[in-house]
Structure 1
Amino acid sequence: MKNNLLLGLLFWLWMPSVSFAQAPKEPQIILSKRIQTDTAAHRTAPKPEVAIDFPNVNKIPFYEDRKKLRAIEKLERRHNWQKALPLLAEYVKNFGVENFYKTTPLLWRLAQLYERVGDEDRAKAYYRLVLKHHRQDIRKIQLYYDSLEAKNKTLYVPLKHYYELVEYRKSINTFHPPRGIYLNMGQEVNSKYEDYAPILSPNNDRLIFSSKRVRRKGMNSTANEDLFYSEYNGISWEEAKPFAKPINSVYNEGSACMSKDGQTLYFTRCECPDCHGNCDLFMAKKLKDGSWGNIRNLGPNVNSKAWDSHPSLSKNEDTLYFASDRLGGFGMSDIYFTYKLKNGQWAPAQNMGPIINTRDSEVSPFFHPLYQVLYFSSRGQLLNNGDFDIYKTYRVNGRWQEPRNIGPLVNGKGSEYYFTIDSNSRNLYYARSEENDLKNLDLFSFPLPMEAHPLAVTKVEGTLVDSASHKPLSGIISIIDLDHGVEVASKYLREDGSFDFDLIDNNRYMMIIQSPDFFSIEKEFDLKQDTIFKIMTSVIDYSIPLIFKNIEFDEGKARIKSNMEGILDRIIYFLVDHPTFGLKIEGHTDNTGDPNLNLDLSQKRADAIKKYIMDKGKIPEDRIEAWGYGSSMPLKEEKTKEDQQINRRVEFKIIQPKTPPGQVPNQGGN
């Protein structure tokens, strides 16, 4: 049932009117708030978050001022929170890298102070820093953070259940179901050995990646890591070929990125004579004959005595992001950056700071070719689904925002690395491993899901409540991009009935909310800016039959009329969404005419409705009962034509399974 979004603050979701035996109110969707954000055709970044700066991170290793600490502690002992807070905030601002694991409790104390004064956003920001950088038992801190974050917690529907929902609705939906995920790029690209680190040429017609398929000769047959490429012929990717010398050598090469003009290649080379450490970043120039040459090390300002790899250029090509496990970082490996000086040389590399980096590992950065969005892989960020997950972070007003997990349609229970998007933001490419087999990396590619899209920054949020009690309802909410078919992972409603999604503005969407407690809700809407909905619907009372006014047959006829179809379709949607539920249809007539003919007519009408529901919804016959009772069960004594009209009815009874399924099963995970 697709309706257009009505202009104004109030609009209604069409549902059949119900009367007599059970009369739930029509589901009502109130557009409670629209937040004007900007006038651009597309928003390219979310609204700014709480600003937290640590200017000393790349200047000093550790900050301490015992006199200031004693003054702060004295104020805290006196419960003088208002004076202690700004002093502690200023103290923490001076942190160097080592403070984040040596004096983590100060971050926790600051978070608690912000919570005490009611600044929940800043409290959560500092609690997140503690959770990312702690090196002790933090269960208590997790409880503090969870209590604040409960209203914003993301509850993804497990993928198996997500695709069951899609499969159920294939027979009745007019929009296309979501497309497959985790699509392996096949044997033309992948080998039986590790294949990873994909990048695309500027025209998206060449895929460059790293592979360990070449084995060195000898008893151990160790891998020789090399760069390979595959050409796109307009239909598929062709068989991969290795780069020629001097790019590939007797040393290990991999993890590349390319300039927009295709003339400069940045890549990693390991254990070579001119390497400063284990692995270094190099650059090469394309020569007039199409080959590569002029290979040179990026130098000590960029490379360290440790491992340096995974280069990615900013969209203006004036900043280079990479991963390194050099000493002085936050964790096992961090994301660093360097920028070009006026003389064309690279400046000394800097750590990206404690918002991006954690006590664990961050690797494989990828800067989007058009927008200020950085993708990277981490196993130390919050909301991890597996070993390594892929996150995105936006640069807003010169600051990197809190990284966002790009969701279960990309991140599985194994590991995901080396995320790359084509220049049109249509398809993603990355390397992933299965759970419990982290070394067997293959390259995957599929259409870009909404959570991973760089332009998915317009927020849609709302709550669903019972229209009678105003208590929150539980269920599953799905969003379908009707314009582009971009997938949006389904979520459970939170305990307070709330939900939120980050979507792309100026697109058309379908909202679907499913639950055994109420008839499925569908609404089509055009998204222009950040939007808040309040949705109210009626809970089904399974002990009382449903009687719909519009289910009225022509006199003496059993033909389904067109004005009945909308109501019957709603019943179909419910049965499709809840495959363990059944339906009983009861036909009734008034007492005029021959009772036997009335009995036969009521049965024919019930059978006609049953056939419509079975045919359109592809519902198995054993889930639907159809009974005709003629005039044997009147609701009223027939004294007037109105009384006769009341008795001429069709009743619907939803039959629950013997053990009703939980309303919100298996929350979280995938």
Structure 2
Amino acid sequence: MKYIVTIITLTFGLMTFAQNVEFKSSNFKDDKDGYKAAVDAIKAGDEFFTLGNEAVFAVQSPGMNFGLALREYEKAQKFNPDNAELNYKIGVCHANSSDQEKCIPFLKKAYKLDPECDPFLNYYYGFALQLDGDFSAAKKAYDAFANSYKKADDFSKFVSKRKKECQIATNAVASPVRAWVDNVKELNTPQNEYGPSVSTDGAELILTSNRPNGHTPNELGGYDDDIYISSLSNGKWSKPKAIDGPVNSESDDVSNNLSYDGTKLLMHRVVDGQCDIFESELKGADWTAPEKLASSISSSRANERFASYSADGWSIYFNRDNANRSNGYEVMYSSMQSKIQKNYMAAQMISSINSKFNEGPIYVHLDGETMYIASEGDGSLGGYDIFVSENINGTWSEPKNLGYPINTQYDDFFFSATANGKYAYIASNRAGGEGGYDIYKVTFWGTEKEPVTATEDYLLASIVNPIADNSIEESVTVKKKSFTVFKGITIDAISRKPVEAEIEITDNTSGKVIETFTTNSATGKFIITLASGKNYGIAVKAEGYLFHSENFDIPKGSSDNLVNKVIELKNIKIGSKIALRNIFFDTGKSILRSESNAELDRLVKLMKDVPNLKVEISGHTDNTGSAKLNEQLSQDRAEAVVSYLTKKGIAASRMTAKGYGPNAPIASNATADGRQQNRRTEFEITGN
């Protein structure tokens, strides 16, 4: 992903320093054939090397050119490992690969053999020192390049940027943020792994890899990118498995971001050199064939990549390389006019986020106010770094660096977080990995390398301590919102088989339906995130079943960030009974509260949809107080429900009201929780 700006040098050094062995026939009189083969390999490599440099100079991808050059240079290296210029060129090839760490020994050796073998050696030698963490020496090498290269002014912005990166990295390493970064070894291979997107509950992870996949390898024996999925079990990720079906093709398929409910996947695909954004949906057990997004996003006149959903699902944020912009990719967004038609409006640039260099992968946090962006721009420790921006009154703030060790002098990009704010997953080619880009887990907070136990309502951007260009600043102030993952499965109460059902979630305080969705047709699973500090009602309905309702509170600032439900649906048959958990009365009274209307209206709809249905509405209390008074109260409450239904057009002859008082408990009255369960209104089918 990272390409270093340079120019091609075709002349061999004429002077010999230290033990530099030049490619001269006089140096290899005893092996003329080997010498000729090595020189031919260098000439072949130089052609690709030139093309790679031309692309990099134009802030474009060099493609496989440096890899093809490296293949030729390595042949010559076996014949003569002590040529300064050849070591330099091999180092440059590695510096423009995902395995940048490999450039360090070659560039150091080139400098040792002949520090003047190429006008750009000081620049690349500085880069090798920067990767090696010797920031002070790296700055001196960059200065040496600026002072020695005649056309250094043409590259002054790059030299200035590298020196600035060294200063920022020096400060960042001296003041690390409170986070642990660990290589997730079970996900990684010697090939590239990147594009992590984790489900909000942290149980599944989508990633991209160019590991062997059975497709036709390229000229270098490498493979195209495919999208994989892994599941977390007992703290370990399963071996990634390529997603079955049409998601993966013979082209490069790169995961971008999952939707927050895990039912949609944004990805980009490269076909005939054109990169566009696609979307696939999870239907039952299968992902659908990816569809290219509207032309306002996937334009035929540009390349688009690295897309993210907005929190409300109405917008897409993505990268585009503007043909009129020489600085590479920038961040854009496009909003829908209709979710049904998916008609996106013209894309807009976000000027407050874009820098003079490449922008990379984007992740919009589910709070809707925080965006994480990878960028090569000012403020980076080197290569791509992950930055955070917050939306203040509709405007995205200037991005701030998340700091070390999340970011390093290598490429650090992609960012995907769990809903609880404890963990995030990133990709990096930092030193010490399995090879190329690897997936890393970021654990926030805590003083020891143990699972975090701190309150989970902290957003990631407020936990870490972002850094400015040359010094450590105070933490970026981000509003702290608490989110809870509500997940589960809908099943038949008797067969225990999955049931596809529609779930409606209501904010009981406002009475507003905040979400309606359908559970997976093959598994019955669902997942959604809810803001804390509210009381929610859920209603579940499926054809041929009684609707199911529940009510639960998520306290503000709650650390209980996961609600996991197995929802059992009962067939519409005589004797089937459900508790109406979202019917509310004031203590000791039988007047229905307004928060009950949504639940009661669902009951009205059921009675109208099944016109032969006859029911008993029963009221129940706990055993606190007088049994006689409790029986009367429960009778009055049951009659209040029947009265509501009658006013809505349901014949009174189809309903009976019965108050049982404390005489039909479903839990022990010895505990507060048991007493709460016993205070209920029930609905039982008596005829159909």
Same fold (TM over 0.5): no
* Greater relative CO (CA pairs within 8 A, separation 6+): 1
TM-score tier, shorter chain, comes to: 0.3 to 0.5
More helix by share: 2
